Amino acid sequence: MFRYTMDCGTCETAGPVQVMTPEVVNVQLTISNKAQEMLSDAFGDDRSLALLVGVLSGGCSGYMYDLQIVEETDQSCQEIEVDGFRVLVPNSSSHLLDGIEIDYVDRLMGGGFKINNPNAESSCGCGESFS
């Protein structure tokens, strides 16, 4: 864990700000059968592609999941093979994504991928963001 202290020196009441870098966790994750079917359709026969599973700041609960199919990325990532799929997880968000299950749910107005995350303290009603 790295700690940085910053002090602008202009305010007597302002204390130093500590920025903490999260520890990198070796991620374990699973992909449901339905999600595997949908990924197979999306990937086709090209297994050189990878599913990038990331986290963005935002949403109504603080973080939003970000799923992308990529050839490669500039981010420092862990590469995990899950049931024949290459999955990339950025090290910067590994502590938030360890233990997740990637699922696919059918809905009345169209389906979509859903992340079941045991690390989430709470999530919004739509399931697209968490804290």
Superfamily of domain 24-130: HesB-like domain (2.60.300.12)
Between CA 106 and CA 25 the distance in angstroms is 31
- Give me the pLDDT at residue 118, please: 87
Phi, psi (5° rounding) for residue 128?
-95, -10
Residues 130 and 117: beta-carbon distance below 8 Å:
yes
Provide the sign of the torsion angle of the four alpha carbons 106, 43, 57, 88, taken in this order: positive
Give, for all 131 residues of the chain, the pLDDT tens digit. 555 555 566 656 656 777 667 788 899 999 999 999 999 999 988 888 999 999 988 766 578 889 999 999 999 999 999 989 999 999 999 999 999 999 999 887 778 898 998 877 756 554 554 54
- Give me the pLDDT at residue 48, please: 87
Rounded to 5°, the CA angle 60-96-91 comes to 125
| Ranges of each domain in the chain | 24-130
- Give me the pLDDT at residue 69, please: 93
Between CA 62 and CA 129 the distance in angstroms is 7
